[in-house]
Amino acid sequence: MVFSLFSRGLALTLGLGACSLNAALAQGDVNDPTQISVPNERPSPPPTIKPLDWKNIPEIVGSQISAPRVGLYAGFTRLVFDLPKGTANLGNVKVTSDAGGFSLEFMGVFAPPLSSRGTPSLADMAKARLRVQSDVSPELSSWTLSSGQYGTVATVKVPYGVRPNSGGYKLLILPSDAESPNDRVVLDLGPAYANRQPVPLEQYWVAPFPAGTKIVLDPGHGGTDPGAMGAVVEKETNLKMGLLVRDLLIAAGAEVLMSRQDDRVFSKDKPTDLEARAVLGRAPQTLFVSLHVNAMPQQNYLRGYGVETWWYPNHPESLRLAQTIERAVLEQTGAFARRVSSASLAVLRQSEIPASLVEIGFTSHPVDGENLKSENYLERVALGVATGIRNFVGSSKVPNSLPTAVPGKAPASPALPVPDKLPGT
């Protein structure tokens, strides 16, 4: 059951944030997380850009490979391992990861011992052949090639934490084509990467809600207020998210009250608009969630990425709601976890029921912006938000059969990763 009101109800706010708790609280009352600044923050130095050439690559003859090609881009580093034609597939490429990086084993191909510092000496190889720290880029500490049991092993070390569920990287396996006579394994490295693969149909649902559960969803901004501008227009992405979450909640038996279902606002006056949204957060509604996208100033645009969830002590359960939603969104997306933060945001402060604002990514970041443009990523975020809401409301037994299918959700995860954009992010 779904309602759209501009007078009464309950709202849940999802947004994007980029500052510490102390900095947030020091700001006092604010209308939007983008208004919260970090004191004395210095501009970031411009990134080093050295893109790769995707054409005129010589064909590999035989079964020996050489060093990977390394490209530097804003917000990520790309490694391309060129392999003989017909050797790059899921059966011949074994990839494992941990928090510190990756191990890629290429079956049936061979390479001399190499590293990002050159060819190690025999003594170095005997002592610690994989411990090479050369700080190739902000996203890549080192790489090495060494002999494995069945071929060549590439060890890649990164200076940030690789996360489960494709968090912090994107891996593509590409066959030879008109641009290259060789197969390629492409590893894009950057902490802003999240999972952009489709959610399998059989996993795209949440457990049934207890009878009488009433959820208010508030897609932020709208109408004359576009919100943050960048890779996406915030008001448009917020509405997409709201509709996706709504469909999942309704399919699970919850009643949903939407602050908007199209491109509008309550009022062109910002404080009046926010107060009208917050008024929805009152009994008999169960909880309030608002959806937002964040942005960083141009001078620091590479510093802002990931998911952050906001709360305010308007209700004893608001913190638990924020924590529960954040945890579920991160599990579904593999996105970078900024933190659960508190701030005196208008829609949270004026709500009388458990309320949270979830920020799902930064439209100003070159990689996170691509996450936000991905329909697969948005579905994963929506599933995380809906699951977090369900977990907050309470546990129940998983049904014997799947609940009503969500309209328009297509099945199918491809056998190989889908190239969503090359040679960019």
Q: Is the pLDDT of residue 411 over 80?
A: no
On whether both 27 and 76 belong to a single domain, the answer is: no
On whether both 355 and 258 belong to a single domain, the answer is: yes
Q: Is residue 116 part of a domain?
A: yes
Read off the pLDDT of each residue in 201-212 and give the average, rounded to a whole number: 96
On whether both 221 and 260 belong to a single domain, the answer is: yes
Read off the pLDDT of each residue in 308-316 and give the average, rounded to a whole number: 96
Residue bearing the bigger pLDDT, 7 or 270: 270
Q: Which structural domain range is residue 33 located in?
A: 2-43+197-393
On whether both 75 and 8 belong to a single domain, the answer is: no
> Counting Cβ atoms within 10 Å, is residue 38 exposed (0-12), middle (13-18) or buried (19+)?
middle
What's the mean pLDDT when you consider all of the chain? 84
Spatial distance between the Cα atoms of 381 and 372, rounded to a whole number of angstroms: 10
Give the model confidence (pLDDT) of 354-410 as tens digits: 999 999 999 999 999 999 999 999 999 999 999 999 999 984 333 333 344 455 554
How many domains, the chain?
2
Q: Is the pLDDT of residue 1 over 60?
A: no
Q: Is residue 25 part of a domain?
A: yes
Task: Give the torsion sign (CA, 247, 249, 253, 258).
Answer: negative
Read off the pLDDT of each residue in 61-70 and give the average, rounded to a whole number: 88
Q: Is residue 64 part of a domain?
A: no
Read off the pLDDT of each residue in 407-422 and give the average, rounded to a whole number: 45
On whether both 342 and 203 belong to a single domain, the answer is: yes
pLDDT on residue 42:
76
Give the model confidence (pLDDT) of 82-128 as tens digits: 999 988 887 889 999 999 999 999 999 988 777 776 655 544 544 44
Domain boundary among 161, 189, 217: 189
CA atoms within 13 A on the CB side of 80: 21
On whether both 179 and 202 belong to a single domain, the answer is: no
On whether both 210 and 142 belong to a single domain, the answer is: no
**Model-level pTM?**
0.85
Q: Is residue 57 part of a domain?
A: no
Do the bridges between strand 169-174 and strand 183-189 make them parallel or antiparallel, or are there none, so unpaired? Answer: antiparallel
Q: Where are the beta strands (DSSP E) in 206-347?
A: 214-219, 255-258, 287-294, 307-311, 337-342, 344-345
pLDDT on residue 90:
74
Give the model confidence (pLDDT) of 338-350 as tens digits: 999 999 999 999 9
On whether both 231 and 303 belong to a single domain, the answer is: yes
pLDDT on residue 89:
81
On whether both 132 and 209 belong to a single domain, the answer is: no
Confidence of residue 326 (pLDDT cuts 50, 70, 90): very high
On whether both 14 and 76 belong to a single domain, the answer is: no
Domain boundary among 189, 207, 241: 189
pLDDT on residue 133:
42
What's the CATH number where 303 sits? Answer: 3.40.630.40
Give the model confidence (pLDDT) of 240-288 as tens digits: 999 999 999 999 999 999 999 999 999 999 999 999 999 999 999 999 9
Domain boundary among 168, 189, 210: 189
Q: Is the pLDDT of residue 412 over 80?
A: no
Residue bearing the bigger pLDDT, 53 or 400: 53
- CA 398 to chain centroid, in Å, comes to 27
Structural contact between residues 251 and 406, judged by C-beta atoms closer than 8 angstroms: yes
Q: Is residue 307 part of a domain?
A: yes
Read off the pLDDT of each residue in 147-155 and give the average, rounded to a whole number: 90
On whether both 389 and 243 belong to a single domain, the answer is: yes
What's the CATH number where 120 sits? Answer: 2.60.40.3500
Q: Is residue 420 part of a domain?
A: no
On whether both 165 and 238 belong to a single domain, the answer is: no
Structural contact between residues 265 and 273, judged by C-beta atoms closer than 8 angstroms: yes
Q: Is residue 422 part of a domain?
A: no
Read off the pLDDT of each residue in 34-61 and give the average, rounded to a whole number: 80
Q: Is residue 402 part of a domain?
A: no
Confidence of residue 55 (pLDDT cuts 50, 70, 90): confident
